[in-house]
Amino acid sequence: MFDFRKAMLLLAVLALTAGLASAQFGPLNCTLNGGAPPLLRAEGLAEEVGQAFIQCTGGNPSAPATINVRVFTPGYNVTSRLLSAAPEGGGELEAALLIDDPAPGQVNVGTNAFFAYKVPGNAQAVEWRNIEFRPPGTDGATRTLRMVNIRVNASAAGLTVTPTPVNLLVSVTGSLTLPLSSPFLVVGYIQKSLEVSVTGANLSQCQTPTDSVKVIFKELIPNAWREAGNVTGPPQNNLFNIYNTESMYWDETPTDWPGDAGRATQATQLQVTFSNLPAGVSLGTATCSSPAFTCSTLGNTVTATVSGSVDVGVIETLTVSVPVTYSGLPAIGTGTVSGSYAPISTVITPITGPAPRFTDTGAAQDAFTINPCETRLLFPFVTSITGWDTGLAISNTSKDPWGTDPQSGTCTLYFYGTPSDISQTTTVSIAAGQQMLMTLSGGNAAQGLSAVPDFTGYVFAVCNFQYAHGYAFVSDLGVNRFAQGYIALILSPEKISNSDRYGPSPAEALNQ
């Protein structure tokens, strides 16, 4: 027959033993800590925050518990990547919880390493579920729960130059709660990290381009540009190293560590995007000023990718030079260009796509202008004083039997002399094979030219097409006693002294 008195005695002994054990091991105490918070790029949609770790002392190691650890990043979506080969059957993220800081190569997923899950209905939180927690006990022992590989959408802060903190809030549930002295920790500061400027090109429609557009990228925080950290070299599995790459913590293969957990999909990329290219214009092969970058051109986009060692702790500058090319006669106009990080995305939730990825912060700037063809003519003597007159003719000879590109454009006449200088209004467009015609005394209203009576001097004509040729005819009225005609001088394309009178890019020389 069962002896209840013995049972009661046994329970009393167990209670006393537990009390002594509790007194022996001391109370469980835990603190939330982290290193110095890193700077996060305000342009980034998947920026790695600093590591956070819970460190516990005391407690009874013979009384393990099952806990859930949930972390919140208020104001910023967690954007750690979904694992393509989830170790626990699906839905896990690369954000990892490591127990007691496993040494390099000693990770055992499910024992000392666990991957997080998304929290339903809260994109600003992840959690690790059903983790066995064994209090460390006495003798100075500690138990560490380290949280790594957490990415957030830093672009939610806007392009701020004032550092904006990212806070981590920790909650623990389960059969045991961890008595944290404070559940809050700053794990990063967000700051604008990229400045883009453009040195444009001024080009002539009639001349072969010799200039390049230069897009200058500048870091605003050190180490904003990084190597991939996932292709060559050792794994990034030393928790106390700062690797300064786009990758986070990852262990070596073949182990049970998923191949894409913690690894970036590419090094830092900078992107140059051209738009509004005038018809007939294309881009040449781009070059990067730094050997640490490789430039590639695809259509109207140039991508500069970190492919070598970049300086750590130094503000760097990169110039991407892009030649503008065309054959024949391109359209007149202005092309624009913008610069930003790449790849550009709008996804602010965990995905299996690229990491890092960025929001589009590029602002269009003028890249180059195709100026119209130009011929500059000089009529050295004209007059319309009483009893005299001068007729002027300018022919657009870009229409010919040799396959020259036909052009059309206006001509503007500038009169210098007595009784005063006169800036003549611009003509209507003169088509290829047609002429501008006028007399000083009568003008030509049909072509937009007003009369210039009682004038003696000279005339400059600026025509926006190649192969303009001019003729002047000076005579007395009725051509009764005097008549003289001459061909207008074509001003040389060579610049003389500091004057722009012969350029910037006229099409013909004096003997043409």
* Structure confidence by residue, pLDDT tens digits, 396-427: 999 999 988 898 999 999 999 999 999 888 99
The domain made up of 375-490 has a fold known as Hypothetical Protein Tm1070; Chain: A (2.60.290)
- Rounded CA separation 486/475 (Å): 12
* Structure confidence by residue, pLDDT tens digits, 432-448: 999 999 999 999 999 99
State the pLDDT at residue 8.
42
Q: Decide the pairing of beta strands 184-191 and 39-41.
A: parallel
Asked whether residue 500 carries a pLDDT value surpassing 80, the answer given is no
Residue predicted with more confidence, 499 or 291: 291
Q: Omega of the bond prior to 493 within 30 degrees of 0, cis?
A: no
- CA R_g for the chain: 38
Q: Per mean pLDDT, which range of 268-277, 278-287, 486-495 is the poorest?
A: 486-495
Q: Which of 393, 429, 395, 399 is nearest to 411 (CA)?
A: 429
State the pLDDT at residue 256.
82
State the pLDDT at residue 14.
38
* Structure confidence by residue, pLDDT tens digits, 127-146: 999 999 999 997 789 999 99
Asked whether residue 508 carries a pLDDT value surpassing 90, the answer given is no
Which class is 22-191 in CATH? mainly beta
Q: Which of 304, 372, 362, 371 is nearest to 336 (CA)?
A: 362
- CA–chain centroid gap for 479, Å, is 70
Fold match between domain 22-191 and domain 194-228+264-371: yes
Average pLDDT, the chain: 89
State the pLDDT at residue 329.
86
Tell me the domain boundaries of the chain: 22-191, 194-228+264-371, 375-490
Q: Which of 259, 252, 256 is nearest to 112 (CA)?
A: 256
The domain made up of 194-228+264-371 has a fold known as Immunoglobulin-like (2.60.40)
- Rounded CA separation 337/368 (Å): 9
State the pLDDT at residue 394.
98
Asked whether residue 169 carries a pLDDT value surpassing 60, the answer given is yes
- Rounded CA separation 101/94 (Å): 17
Calculate mean pLDDT across residues 49-70. 96
State the pLDDT at residue 12.
43
Under the banding of pLDDT at 50, 70 and 90, the label for residue 480 is confident
Which amino acid is residue 328, in one-letter code? Answer: G
144: burial class by Cβ within 10 Å (0-12, 13-18, 19+)? middle
- In the chain, what percentage of residues exceed pLDDT 90? 76
State the pLDDT at residue 3.
52
Calculate mean pLDDT across residues 241-247. 94
* Structure confidence by residue, pLDDT tens digits, 202-227: 898 888 888 999 999 999 999 999 99
HEC per residue, 237-306: CCCCCCCCECCCCCCCCCCCCCCCCCCCCCCCEEEEEEECCCCCCEECCCEECCCCEEEEEECCEEEEEE
